[in-house]
Chain A
Amino acid sequence: MSAALSYIKKDSPIHNLTGSTKFIFFFVWSLAAMLTFDTRVLAVMFLFGIVFFKMSKLTWENIRFAVYFMLWLIVVNILALFLFAPEQGVSIYGTRTEIVHLFWRYSLVWEELFYLFNFTMKFMAVIPTALLFILTTNPSEFAASLNKIGVSYKVGYSVAIALRYIPDVQRDFREISQAQQARGIDLSKKDKLVDRLKNSAAILFPLVLSSLDRIEVISNAMELRGFGKNKKRTWIVERPFTKADYLAIGIAFLALVISIVFMCINGGRFFNPFI
């Protein structure tokens, strides 16, 4: 069981931004990267992502595992894309520049390589900001920031509850799983797949029941404290926007605008160097 990424406390310009800023930034930034396929825009976004990462004082050790995992995911996807459609790039860019024929219907084509490169860059442009978002945002600030950008505070509270109870559910899971294993219920590869699925139900059932109990307890406690009585609420961790916050949001929207402007210039989402 590998540890999931979570908040790392540090004192840096990125950490000092409010949660809302980082949330808006991450959202707008990933929207910009989702829209465009222009290599130049994506490359600039990636470079900016690295600069922001340097500013956050986080180290390579903090993200190494996540980056390797994402790279592995991208590689698997690229291989699958190539295997199923080796000429996808040709149909997108409209030209065909063959480098070398491999076998059967597979050959190395510049257009396909360029498409796969852009596919990778789309992720590269988002990964640094996604990592920054998850590593530098204090979870208790999360609900407040969601509320600030217009999400109902009740939904914000759901997210806060999810973040608050993940460690508890995880501990429950570990305890139940060990108790069931002691009774001979096996989840490892020694059992058949169908048996493993059935066995997992034996672990999941106590977990679901204990979670349902938890829901009762928490919702009763919240009701006793009058949760949801008023339309608005205040937050203990809410911070006012500073100049840096406006600057960060400005940069994110600038990226979105540039991404859209380049779409107009290119006459589509693709930058085509082949014609």
Chain B
Amino acid sequence: MEKKSNVTIKSIVAIGIGAALFFVVGRFVAIPIFANTTANLQYGILSVFSIIFGPLVGALAGFIGHTLIDLSWGGPWWSWIIASAVFGLIMGLTKKKIDIDNGVFGKKEISIFNVAQIIAHAICWIVVASSLDVLIYKEDITKLVGQSLIAFSANVITTAIVGTALLLAYAKTRTKAGSLKKED
């Protein structure tokens, strides 16, 4: 019981801090490319948070962080906010496959992480964001395909570089299970 309640408090705080990080990185470290599409380093960070804390934290941190970014510009673009939440959620689902808490992040985990992030980005930008844009703004499909492909590839590349580097470094700070040996 005690342990469980500790986990929930921790995830509440992780959502808040994750959203704050997402906001700061997304708001101040963005490189614009095409029609409100930027090279978004924040997805690298969000994927790290998802893998450390799980799907709920990932989804809510993405949702809150992205909403705050959009509000700070003056108008929320709901379709893309929801896509961010979905990205955090999907990445969080791979938490079970990657034992980052025990510092295990080798070649196998790197490939799981990157396959997962490519699938997650594909679902978010090509499926979720585009279909919501059609639904809400009646935008044309070909424009959305162009826009979402650019967002997709930019985000995949940034997440691959930034996310993998961050997770590798984070794994080194964790103690591996069975890393201690008894002296003879």
Residues of A within 8 A of B (CB): 1, 4-6, 30, 34, 37, 63, 66-67, 69-70, 73, 76-77, 79-81, 83-85, 88, 92, 115, 119, 122-123, 126-127, 130-131, 133-134, 154-155, 157-166, 168-170, 173, 187, 194, 197-198, 200-201, 204-205, 207-209, 211-212, 214-215, 218-219, 222-223, 227-228, 269
Which one of B6, B28, B74 contacts A219 once the chains associate, using CB atoms below 8 Å? B6
Q: If the complex has contacts A134-B71, A222-B13, are A34 and B78 also in contact, measured as CB distance less than 8 A?
A: yes
Chain A hits for B36, CB < 8 A = 73, 76-77
In contact, A209 and B143 (Cβ under 8 angstroms): no
Is B60 an interface residue, CB under 8 A from the partner? yes
The answer to whether A154 touches B12, judged by C-beta atoms less than 8 angstroms apart, is yes
Chain A residues closer than 8 Å to B41, beta-carbon distance: 197, 200, 204
In the complex, besides A130-B75, A207-B21, 11 extra interface pairs with C-beta distance below 8 angstroms are: A6-B72, A73-B73, A76-B35, A85-B142, A162-B15, A169-B17, A197-B157, A200-B162, A201-B44, A211-B20, A218-B17
A209→B172 CA distance, assembly (Å): 12
Known: A162-B65, A197-B158. A228 touches B73 (CB 8 A): no
For chain B, residues 79 to 104, give those with C-beta under 8 angstroms from any C-beta of chain A.
none
CB atoms of B19 and A158 under 8 A apart: yes
> Which residues on B sit within 8 Å (CB–CB) of A126?
75-76
Number of A-B contacts (CB under 8 A): 193
B64 touches which of A66, A81, A158, A168 (Cβ 8 Å): A158
Judge whether A133 and B75 touch: CB under 8 Å: no
**With an 8 A cutoff between CB atoms, is B29 at the interface?**
yes
Chain A residues closer than 8 Å to B146, beta-carbon distance: 80, 84
> Chain B residues in contact with chain A, CB under 8 A?
5-6, 8-10, 12-21, 23-25, 27-29, 34-36, 39, 41, 44-45, 48, 52, 60, 64-65, 68, 71-76, 78, 136-143, 146-147, 157-158, 161-162, 165-166, 169-170, 173
In the complex, what residues of B have CB within 8 A of residue A130's CB? Answer: 71, 74-76
Residues of chain A contacted by B27 (CB below 8 angstroms): 4
Contacts of B75 in A (CB 8 A): 70, 123, 126-127, 130
Instruction: Decide: A228 and B45 in contact? CB cutoff 8 A.
Output: no
Shortest C-beta distance, A104 to chain B (Å), equals 15
Cα separation A145 to B59 with both chains bound (whole Å): 21
Whole-angstrom CA separation of A150 from B127 in the bound complex: 30
Q: How far is the CA of A37 from the CA of B147 in the complex (A)?
A: 22
Most buried by A among B24, B65, B72, B158: B24
**Of A165, A194, A198, A222, which contacts B20 at CB under 8 A?**
A165
The reply to whether B165 and A201 contact each other, CB–CB distance below 8 Å, is yes
**B14 CB contacts on chain A under 8 angstroms:** 215, 219
- Do A161 and B17 touch (CB < 8 A)? yes
Known: A84-B146, A215-B13, A228-B5. A70 touches B21 (CB 8 A): no
Flag if B143 contacts A67 (CB, 8 Å): no
A144 vs B29: C-alpha distance in the bound complex, in angstroms?
31
Q: In the complex, A155 Cα to B146 Cα: how many Å?
A: 35
> Do the beta carbons of B20 and A80 come within 8 Å of each other?
no
CB of A204 within 8 A of CB of B28, answer no
Contact of B74 among A115, A127, A201 (CB under 8 A): A127
In the complex, A215 Cα to B9 Cα: how many Å? 10
